[in-house]
Amino acid sequence: MDKVAIIGVGQTRYERGNTKSFAELVYEVTRKALDDAGLELDNIDNVVTTTNDFYDGRTIACMAVAEASGSYGRDATNVEGDGTLSAFYGLMRTLSGVYDATIVTTHCKMSEGNPRKLFNQAFDPIYDRILGMDAISSSALQARAYMDRYGVTEEQCAMVSVKNHANARNNPYAHVALEITIDDVMKSPMLAEPIKRLDISPISDGACAIILATEERARKSAKKPVWVRGVAHCTDAYRLGERDLTYSAALETAAKKAYKMAGIRNPFKQIDVAEVYDAFSYMELMWYEGLGFCDRGKGGKLVESGKTQMGGELPVNPSGGVLSAHPVQVAGLARIAEAVLQLRGEAGGRQVPGAKTALAHGITGICGQTHCVWVLSNEEA
Amino acid sequence: MENETTFEIQEKDGLLVHQGVIRVPYTWAAGEVASRFYAGLREKKVLGLRCPACKVVLVPPKKVCHRCFSDLTDWVEVGDEGVLQTFTVVHYSEPDLHPVEAPFAYGIIKLDGADTGMTHLIGEADIKGLKAGMRLKAVFRHQPQGNYLDIAYFKPIEEANHG
């Protein structure tokens, strides 16, 4: 693969009930990403937006944010899915040789809709939608299958919530920063067994943008470029009953491909910091395994060891992760933006000292049907 | 049927927030495969499709095997009993979504003769005593309507009834 770098990032603060319009939110991060890269819109020749018509409550929803992303008079396109996937599309367009610099934007105002009803619409209208499942109840089926198979405990899941909510206290963009104990998580109201109130991510509004550039353009950028060293995307079966819910086959495949591109043989040793899509506490443990940070079933032991805390061998979600801010579709791009800040040494109180290689991960679909893995570095290949 | 968008204006932090409702009628063709599956349920038969290449039996059935991309045409009848693979007890209420009142249980059930699991409701059960691995039986709706709830729910099989 030719060299591509991320040269600009911008995020809003994540919160519930944000009063900006879609365009106002997206303009804020587009402007921030351009300023971060030291570019003007004239330097951008390619725009990728990220929308979901159901979430936005309007059809062709990209039209609400395209102009605020700088689309006028330019090649503008749209992805429906997590921001890691729009970034993936932006990367492909950058690699086409046609464009110098690509801006990728995402926004979410999930608080304005009805998240449970909207997520239920992801189920098959011909078959099981009528059961009324949503993200929480369907993920509970996955959590139980995984935890039963490997003896992962609710306390181990709670440790993820404690760790990430505490990390969020160092992230000015985070929505929910908490100083809580395992006991607090265990005693929080049961929603869908074994998932409790403090095991789930909040409903967050916000936006994020990144700018991808060709090698030539990246060398002229204001900030030190962060190079895309490996990236891959893989999809599992749609129906839960057709997957082995005790591990993520799609994530294992995506991670292996991304590591091969990046020349990573031992991810736990070679990656300095990871930002993963922990929509629920148990997911972070499953994703450790899928990403090869430990063997299948050992995610609980890994969090227990403290190695994924700040100051540990491989800090995971120094930002507080998705458990601390869950703007749907934005959340994966925010993982990339956070990885970029880490690799530039600009992550403030959540900085992992000397980070050279970072991983960012996004999911889309019911119980993580699709996974996208990015390996980024401040060192050139 | 009507296409309805209503508006109410609220104020928050000195800015306006427009509130509306989107209600759009829609029809979904069930297609040949699901139509035949529901025809089977009318006769209290659970039908699946066997993949000619993978040999797995998919229940509920679908047109294309996701693993090998085979066109599926080999219909088989599977049992109306099976094994609970995973489950959850839901404690929150969503009256517009949930077909039954909380607390209630969802499970994934692999029917005898099937290789995939069927997501469904669990009924007539002590929800505190549910365990993966337990055997369940389909309870058919008295008056089938041609949708997923023609199996109303799965209920645990009493230990005394088998063995």
Closest CA to A206 of A227, A176, A234: A176
Residues in chain B, how many?
A: 163
pLDDT tens, per residue, chain A with 381 residues = 899 999 999 999 999 999 999 999 999 999 999 999 999 999 999 999 999 999 999 999 999 999 999 999 999 999 999 999 999 999 999 999 999 999 999 999 999 999 999 999 999 999 999 999 999 999 999 999 999 999 999 999 999 999 999 999 999 999 999 999 999 999 999 999 999 999 999 999 999 999 999 999 999 999 999 999 999 999 999 999 999 999 999 999 999 999 999 999 999 999 999 999 999 999 999 999 999 999 999 999 999 999 999 999 999 999 999 999 999 999 999 999 999 999 999 999 999 999 999 999 999 999 999 999 999 999 998
Query: Predicted ipTM?
Result: 0.95
Give the amino acid at A12: T
Q: Which CATH superfamily is domain A4-113+203-218 in?
A: Thiolase/Chalcone synthase (3.40.47.10)
Is the distance from CB of A303 to CB of A159 less than 8 angstroms?
yes
- Cα separation, A369 vs A146, in Å, equals 15
- Tell me the chain A residues in contact with residue B108 when contact means C-beta distances shorter than 8 Å: 141, 145, 240-241, 245
pTM of the model: 0.97
CB contact under 8 A, B119 and A240: yes
Q: Where are the domains of chain A?
A: 4-113+203-218
Count other C-beta atoms under 10 Å from residue A344's C-beta: 18
| Distance, CA of B51 to CA of A94 (rounded, Å) | 41
Chain A positions touching B85 (Cβ under 8 A) are: 145, 241, 245
Contacts of A187 (CB under 8 A, 6+ apart): none
Amino acid, single-letter form, for residue A48 = V
* Single-letter residue type at A218: A
Question: How big is the CA angle at A160 (ends A159 and A166), to the nearest 5 degrees?
Answer: 90
Mutate to test the interface with B, among A234, A242, A366 (most CBs of B within 10 A): A242
Site from A22, A128, A137, A282 to mutate, B interface, most B CB atoms within 10 angstroms = A137
Tell me how far apart the alpha carbons of residues B104 and B120 are, in angstroms, rounded to a whole number. Answer: 11
- CA count, 13 A, side-chain hemisphere, B67: 13
- Among the partner-chain residues A126, A130, A145, the one whose CB lies closest to the CB of B86 is A145
CB-based contact B97 A17, cutoff 8 Å: no
